[in-house]
Amino acid sequence: MNTVLVGAQWGDEGKGKVIDFLTEEADVVVRFQGGSNAGHTVVVGDRKYVLHLVPSGVLHEGKHCVIGNGVVMDPFDLMKELEQVESWGFALKGRFHISERAQMVMQWHRALDRAEEAARPEGEKIGTTGRGIGPAYAAKVGRYGMRVGDILKSDFLDLVRKNVKEANRKLKALGALELDPEEMVRLYTPMVAALMPYVTDTIQFLHEKLESKAGILFEGAQATMLDIDFGTYPFVTSSNPTAGGACTGSGISPRSIDRVVGVIKLYTTRVGEGPFPTELNDADGETLRTRGGEFGATTGRPRRCGWFDAVVGRYAQRVNGVDYWAMTKLDVLDTFPVVKICTGYRRADGFVYTTFPADLDALAACTPIYEEMPGWMTETSHITDYAELPENAKKYINRILELIGGKLGVLSVGPARETTLRIGI
Ligand code: GDP
Ligand code: IMO
Ligand code: MG
């Protein structure tokens, strides 16, 4: 069984936790896009692990972990994370692989990310994670990026020099500090030996695994509404976190994908700038943030919080072809006497959008339409069997499923591994 897992909203839906859960039945876990802008949390016992580049399946001994060609990988972030994973007691030897086609995020991409963000006027800032993601993907599409395989070439350090000089022109124009090419050469020289053991033809590796009927799990980072094509452009990331990205970011055909799992939080959060129709700037929003521990796993920024948005859910179901939902954070809603679901956006002239509009100005002029349902006012985090859920919680979940389509596969009622209910998957 080959499964693609994607985020349905604006990220931080609990993908790391669900990947960890589904890794039990997989042999290989593959990251196919994004980079260290991701922060995926897995809680095991009283330990909390946060992963940025390394697939969240790494906490299961013996499972192969792959960084696919669609990823932008910062070698310094990666090395730090690999050391951390080993210090946690998980051996990596022979089971961690990086595509030679993956792009590298270099120091100048990070510098450019910060400088470009600083140069954007208020209202146009994206609120990026500062991890160099946009400039690294710009370099890839502009055909001047550096690939992991470049470290194997004899002129790798000349390539570093050339790229620093090019980046300096842009940094200067942005009024930012320029980088010293020779210092960059000194910085990147040790990377060649450090990365070498992991560089793999991952396309060959994955196809051999497919042929031997191994199960592959594709771990999406970010989410549908942050997708460069389908999200709230330009307030998005620079990759395709949607299901199609799993194929282009790994070299696997769509015909090899058996199912798509969408991870969706039972309310909504967003970190960074950009439209968020159901955002709450009141006591309810504060309750969601506090109860849900809604602070960024990568940057520590407080996440914006709001009610569940079924327009987003339906859109994500269609764009990704979600078969099964992994619904998360039900427990966070336990204390609300009333819960709300957004079913459409009403324009001033009365027109109602029931699918997500491309025009952000039109969206900004809309007000969300809500359906209200009674809450359950009962703690759910100890529940291990779906049948034991309070009736009102079941009604809330079923109404959402009716609005967004797809089936319920997994329900999560707490951060820990064991607070995960397998339903129909
Ligand atoms: P990801 O980026 O999609 O992997 O999600 P993050 O790890 O950034 O954020 C999800 C946060 O919610 C993490 O702190 C998880 O430990 C936590 N979490 C996941 N599922 C649940 C749940 O069902 N209930 C609660 N209370 N917390 C959860
Ligand atoms: P996971 O995988 C939430 C957001 C940033 C910013 C925008 C662009 O943990 O769900 P970037 O640094 O990618 O150029 O920033 O995207 N963003 C995320 N928000 N979760 C993430 O990852 C995110 N990765 C990027 O906050 O608004
Ligand atoms: Mg996250």
Q: Convert the pLDDT of each residue in 352-401 to its tens digit.
A: 999 999 999 999 999 999 999 999 999 999 999 999 999 999 999 999 99
The domain that contains 147 carries what CATH number? 1.10.300.10
The confidence score (pLDDT) of residue 299 equals 82
Note whether 88 and 130 are same-domain residues.
no
What pLDDT, on a 0 to 100 scale, did the predictor assign at position 300? 86
CA of 6 to the centre of ligand 2 (A): 14
Q: How confident is the model over 101-152, as pLDDT tens digits?
A: 999 999 999 999 999 999 999 999 999 999 999 999 999 999 999 999 999 9
Pair (191, 201) in one structural domain: no
Looking up tokens 């291990």 gives 384
What pLDDT, on a 0 to 100 scale, did the predictor assign at position 314?
98
Which of 143, 66, 74 lies closest to 104 in space, CA to CA?
A: 74
- pLDDT of residue 84 exceeding 90, the answer is yes
Contact in structure between 417 and 20 (CB atoms under 8 Å): yes
- The confidence score (pLDDT) of residue 424 equals 81
Task: Region of 405 please: left (phi>0), alpha (psi -120 to 50) or beta.
Answer: left
As annotated, the active-site residues are: 12, 40
Same domain, 359 and 400: yes
CA distance 353 to 362: 10
User: Rounded to whole angstroms, how far apart are CA atoms 247 and 69?
Assistant: 10
Question: For residues 392 and 225, what is the distance between their CA atoms, to the nearest angstrom?
Answer: 28
Looking at residue 28, which CATH number applies to its domain?
3.40.440.10
5 lines ligand 1 (CB under 6 A): no
Question: Are residues 383 and 237 part of one domain?
Answer: no
368 and 270 within one domain: yes
Whether residue 44 is found in the same domain as residue 143? no
Which of 91, 61, 98 lies closest to 77 in space, CA to CA?
A: 98
Q: Tell me the CA–centroid distance for residue 14 and ligand 1, in Å.
A: 4
67/137 same-domain check: no
Q: How confident is the model over 28-81, as pLDDT tens digits? A: 999 999 999 999 999 999 999 999 999 999 999 999 999 999 999 999 999 999
Helix extents (H) in 231-322:
244-248, 283-292, 310-320
Q: Which domain holds residue 175?
A: 103-195
Alpha carbon distance 291, 332 (integer Å):
6
According to DSSP, residue 226 is labeled G
Give residue-wise pLDDT tens across range 260-312: 999 999 999 999 999 999 999 999 999 999 999 999 878 888 999 999 999 99
For a substitution probing ligand 2, which of 12, 226, 270, 301 has the most ligand atoms within 8 Å of its CB?
A: 226
Q: Is residue 310 domain-shared with residue 240, that is, in the same domain?
A: no
DSSP letters spanning 16-53: HHHHHHHHTT-SEEEE-S--TT--EEEEETTEEEEESS
The ligand minimizing its distance to the Cα of 14 is: 1
DSSP 157-220: HHHHHHHHHHHHHHHHHTTPPPPPHHHHHHHHHHHHHHHGGGEE-HHHHHHHHHHTT--EEEE-
Beta partners for 261?
Answer: 5, 324
The CATH number that applies at residue 383 is 3.90.170.10
Q: Probe ligand 2: pick from 10, 237, 263, 264, max atoms within 8 Å of CB?
A: 237
Q: What is the DSSP letter of 121?
A: P
| The total number of structural domains that make up the chain | 3
pTM greater than 0.75 (yes/no):
yes
> Distance (Å, rounded) from C-alpha 235 to C-alpha 227?
9
Rounded to whole angstroms, how far apart are CA atoms 234 and 363?
A: 14
**Separation CA 166–CA 108 (nearest Å):** 10
> Rounded to the nearest 10 degrees, how much is the dihedral formed by the CA atoms of 399, 405, 408, 410?
-110
Q: What's the CA-to-centroid distance between 395 and ligand 2, angstroms?
A: 32
